[in-house]
Structure 1
Amino acid sequence: MLHRLWRRGTDFLGCRYALLGGAMTWVSERNLVAAISNAGGFGVIACGAMEPDRLAEEIEATRALTDRPFGVNLILMHPRLDRLIDVCADFGTSHVVLAGGLPSRATLAKLKDGGARTLCFAPNRGIAARLVRAGADALILEGSEAGGHIGAVSTLVLAQEILPAVTDVPVFIAGGIGHGEAIAAFLRMGASGCQLGTRFACAEESIAHPAFKQAFLRASARDAVPSAQIDPAFKVIPVRALANAATRRFAETQVEVIGRYRRGELDHEAASLEIEHFWAGALRRAVIEGDVEGGSLMAGQSVGLVTAVEPCATIVQDLVAQASAACARALPPAAR
C-alpha cells in the first residue's frame, strides 16, 4: 500500500522512496546527498551562497558518488541565480528546488528549458495555486516545525489547507517529520511524499561536526525554538534552532543595539544591520567547527526523534518500515 500511496512522488523524483533530503547549508553536500540517494531516497544539494564554479564542482563530485537521481536547491535571492541555473542545465540536473521567495515565470521557464523539473515552497493555498499557474512542476509545504528559516503556519494546517485544493502537481510535506507514522498519515491525506532534514543531519555520512551531532542527540523538541524578535520596528526573520548561548546573546544584542538607536547613537539602518549581521558565519561555526554554544544549531522540532548517529540506509529503511506498518494498520482487517 505504501508504494501505491507515494507512486506519484517516486515517479516524479525517479527514486525508490519519495523521501527528499531537506537542503541544509554546509550539511547537504556531496557525501550526504549521495548517501540519501543511494539509500533509495532523493538527496538535494544545498547551493546556498555557492558561486557557479563551486556548484559545478559539487554536482560533479556528487555524481562520482552516486548514479541515482538527486537535485539542487537554489536560493532565489542569490545574485548570480541565472548563472547557477546555467550550471544546472550544463550538468543535466533533473530537479531543482527553489527557495527563499517566489520564482518568476521566467525563472521557472529557464529551468524547464534546461531540462529540470522544478519544486517550489508554498506557504499558503493562494500562493500554491499561483505557483502551479506559473509552471511549478511540484510543491513543497514546509510548516513552522522545520529547522532554519520558517513560516508561521504548522505542517498539519498547511497540509489540510492545500492538499485538498492542489491536485494538478505532486505535493511533498516537510517540517517536523521524523517518523514513518507521520509520513504514512500525510500520504493518506494526499501527499506524494515527504521531505526530512533534521533526521538526516545526524547521519553517519553527514560531515557535521561530532559536537553538532551530539547537541542534536541531547535535544528535545522543546529545545528547537524560533529566534526572538525584541522590537517590531526591527524585523528578525524567524529561524528555528536549538537554544544555546548564542541565542541568548542575540536577544541581549537586540536590546543593546535598539537602546543605542533610541538614544540617537545609531540610525535605523545601522541598527538593523548590526542585528542582521549577528548570525553571520554562525551556521558554519556550529556545523563545521563544532562551536555549539557560539554557533547556530538550526534544527526542526523533530530533533527529539533523533536518537542515534546512523547510516542513511538505516534511517531510510526505518522510515519506510514504520510507514509501511502504519499503512497496514490503516487497512480493514479483511484486507490485511
Structure 2
Amino acid sequence: MSDGSSETVPPAEPAGERDVLRTRLVDLLGCRYPIVQTGMGWVSGANLTAATSAAGGFGILASITMTSDQFADAVRTVKERTDAPFGANFRAGQPDLDERIRFATGEGIRLFSFAGAPTKDAIAKIHDAGGLVMPTVGARRHAEKMAEWGVDAVIAQGGEGGGHTGSVPTSLLLPQVVEAVGDQIPVVGAGGFHSGQGLVAALAYGADGIAMGTRFLLTQESRVPEAIKGDYTKATVFDTVVTTALDGAPQRVIRTELIDGLEKASIVTRMPKAALKALEFRKQTGTSLKELWAEGMAMRKDQDLTWAQLAMAANAPMLIKTALVDGDASVGVLPTGQVTGVIDDLPTVEALLQQLVAEARATLTRLTA
C-alpha cells in the first residue's frame, strides 16, 4: 500500500454548493477528479498509472503490450504504490482475454478499457466478474451500439486524438455522443484535451470527464525516453498527420521521414518487413503462433482487413515500440494527438493534475462571477 508520500491535498472546493467536478465518472470509478490517463501501449506502465491514480486521476495500465507475467508484475507494483483505484486496457480479440479478466478482477481491478469494441461475450464476462467496461468510440452509432450492449461508460475520441482515430473533431463528436447515450452512461471526452479550461469545455458539452494520452506521455513519470519526449515537445500542431500506411486504418502520428517513406512505398515492399515485425511482436508479448493466427483472423473478419492490412496491423506495435521504448525515432513511429503542438513542458503527474483542477475551478469561477 502507499506510504502516503505521493498523496496530494486537492484544491479547495466551492463552499456551500455542489462540486461540479464531482461527476458521475468520479462516482463510478472512485477517483477524485474526472481525468483519465489512457492505456497507451508501451507507455502506460506501473509508474505512470500509479502516479496518476495516487494524484487523484484515474490511471489505466496498457496490458496489451505486456506478457501475462509483466502484466501481473505491473498490477502488483501499482498496488504497492497506491491504494487508489486504477484500470487496465485490453484488445478485444486477444487470445488470453478470459485469463486476464480473471486475474485482473481477482486483483481488484474494476475498469476494463478497450481501444475498439469489445464483444458482447467479453462484456458479460467482465460484468459477471464484478468489473466495469469502458470502450473508446469514434462515432455516434458506435456509442449507441456499445450502450445497447451494456457497457458502463464510453470514451468519445475526436479526430484530434492520437493513435487510431476518426475524422470527426471532438467539438462535434462529443455532444453527439452525449446526446445519444449520455442519459444512460457517463461519457468521457478525448482528443485535444490538455488543460483545465478544456475540462470545463467537456463538462459544458455534457461529458462527465476527459481522457488524455499525449499530455500524460509528456510527464516525468512517463517511461518514454527523454530524447523522444523532446521530439514531441518540439512538434507543432502542423507536424502531425493521419496516415493509413501503418496498418490500413487512420492513425495520427508525428510526421517523420519514415512515415513519408511508408506512405510512398508499395504494399508489396511493405509486406515482408511487416510479417517479420509481427513475429517479433509475438515474442515480445508471449503470444504463440497459433494465438497470433487466431487473433489475426478475428481482426480480418471484424475489421474487414485485406491480408496486406493484416500484416501491417501486426507490424505497427513494433514500429511504435522502436520509438517509445527503444528511443529510435528514425526507424520508429511516434503516435500522438494533435495537442502535442501546444505542449512544451514535462511536469510531474501530480503537478499536472493540480494545475488542471486549479484551472478548471478558476474557469468555473470566472464564468459564474
TM exceeding 0.5: yes
1:82 alignment counterpart: 98
Q: Distance in 2 between matches of 1:111 and 1:312?
A: 29
Gaps spanning 5+ residues in structure 1: where?
259-267
Matched, 1:9 2:25: yes
Report the Cα offset of residue 126 of structure 1.
2.5
Report the Cα offset of residue 277 of structure 1.
5.8
Asked whether the 8 Å contact 1:30–1:65 carries over to 2, the reply is no
Asked whether the 8 Å contact 1:217–1:306 carries over to 2, the reply is yes
Q: Distance in 2 between matches of 1:208 and 1:301?
A: 18
Change (3 A) 1:79 1:144: same
2:155 alignment counterpart: 140
Q: 2:240 aligns with which of 208, 224, 230?
A: 224
Letter in 2 for 1:73: N
Deviation larger for 30-39 or 284-293: 284-293
Among all aligned residue pairs of Structure 1 and Structure 2, give the percentage whose two residues are the same amino acid: 32
Change (3 A) 1:270 1:37: closer
Matched, 1:47 2:63: yes
2:343 alignment counterpart: 306
Change (3 A) 1:67 1:92: same
1:233-278 superposed Cα distances (whole Å, 9 cap, x missing partner): x9711111111121112113237749xxxxxxxxx97755665566
Report the Cα offset of residue 3 of structure 1.
3.3
Asked whether the 8 Å contact 1:137–1:169 carries over to 2, the reply is yes
The alignment partner of 1:281 has SS state of: helix
Q: 1:154 aligns with which of 169, 173, 177?
A: 169
Q: Distance in 2 between matches of 1:273 and 1:106?
A: 24
Report the Cα offset of residue 142 of structure 1.
0.8
Report the Cα offset of residue 326 of structure 1.
1.7
1:85-118 superposed Cα distances (whole Å, 9 cap, x missing partner): 1111221212111223x22222111111111111
2:140 alignment counterpart: 125
Report the Cα offset of residue 51 of structure 1.
3.1
Q: Distance in 1 between matches of 2:255 and 2:111?
A: 34
Matched, 1:57 2:73: yes
Asked whether the 8 Å contact 1:52–1:87 carries over to 2, the reply is no
Report the Cα offset of residue 150 of structure 1.
1.1
Letter in 2 for 1:155: T
Q: Size of the alignment, in residue pairs? A: 320
Asked whether the 8 Å contact 1:180–1:321 carries over to 2, the reply is yes
Gaps spanning 5+ residues in structure 2: where?
1-13, 271-304
Letter in 2 for 1:139: V
1:37 alignment counterpart: 53
Matched, 1:109 2:121: no
Matched, 1:203 2:219: yes
Coordinate RMSD, CA, aligned: 2.4
1:135-191 superposed Cα distances (whole Å, 9 cap, x missing partner): 111111011111111122221111121212321111111011112211101102211
Q: Distance in 2 between matches of 1:116 and 1:164?
A: 26
Report the Cα offset of residue 294 of structure 1.
1.6
